[in-house]
Amino acid sequence: MRVTDTLSDIQAGLAVRAPAMIVTIYGDIVVPRGGVLWMGTLVEICAGLGISETLVRTAVSRLVAAGQLVGERHGRRSYYGLAPGARTEFAAAARLLYGPQSSACGFLIHHAPGVDDETVRRAGLGRMGPDLYLRPDRPENVPVPGLAFRAEVVKEAALLSGYVATLWDLQSFADAYRAVIDLFSPLAAALHEGEVLRPADAVSARLLLVQAYRAVLLRDPRLPSNALPADWPGIAARRLFSGLYRKISPLADEYIGTHFEGRDGSLPTRTDEVIARLQSLARDTDI
């Protein structure tokens, strides 16, 4: 079957690591359905992605040690949910992935003495000079200590895209978006032509889609549209993600509701948050 071969190609094209995939599983499946998952279900999901039980258990132990997951036992079963400190991070990532897409309102010039490299990366700052950064002006910006000044291009606006390319490696983001498009477009085409995924494969396909797109989106500083090159592939990647996610979800959600278990029994097929995500993605242009 063509769609099965396509899914195999996607899996082969992604370097799926257990810790990152478990984060994706919690963000996409578990958090909007109560936040707690039975270890046996987690092992089952990962097996469908070629990740062994040993790797899953090792990764879970590391995520617990890192303060992202917390475990509890009920009888002979182990369950894991998000640690309180991880909820804010997961919520921010979910807003980017599934929430309405907003354009940055220009730029801020940020004077941030002594800011560490990890904060620079997470906040999407472009280094202009010692302790001085340019960043997109958007409400959901990661807080950074220091002084921020609103920037305005007063002349030669046509030079803006060339200037920001000296501060951010836009080519690397463009290449990463194109890689997502190249990897998942064959699956979208096969489904459009009437091919059908098995329900369990729909879960795997959606997780791989989220994993691949999330990896680029969370690194992308998401600059204002007038600062981006023409034909920016991030737009096409978003359309592909939104359309394919919604196409796969009915089968995936049905399988989740009949096969996956949380602390209180079977996970629900749909919740208000699951529905809200799909409605938000429906506002994006179809593939």
How confident is the model at residue 153, as a pLDDT?
Answer: 83
How many CB atoms neighbour CB 258 within 10 A? 11
CB of 197 closer than 8 Å to CB of 3 = yes
Percent over 90 (pLDDT), the chain: 67
Per-residue burial over 185-196, b if 16 or more Cβ lie within 10 Å, else e, is ebbbebbeeeee
Question: Each residue of 143-175: pLDDT tens digit?
Answer: 888 999 998 887 777 788 889 999 999 999 999
As given in the structure block, the two tokens for residue 46 are 């990962």
Look-up of token digits 């132990």: 61
> What is the C-alpha separation between 51 and 44, in angstroms, rounded?
9
Percent over 70 (pLDDT), the chain: 99
How confident is the model at residue 287, as a pLDDT?
Answer: 41
> What is the C-alpha separation between 117 and 72, in angstroms, rounded?
35
CB of 165 closer than 8 Å to CB of 127 = no
As given in the structure block, the two tokens for residue 18 are 């257990």
Phi/psi-derived region of residue 61, left when phi > 0, alpha when psi is between -120 and 50, beta in every other case: alpha
Instruction: Mark the ranges of the chain whose per-residue pLDDT is less than 70.
Output: 1, 285-287
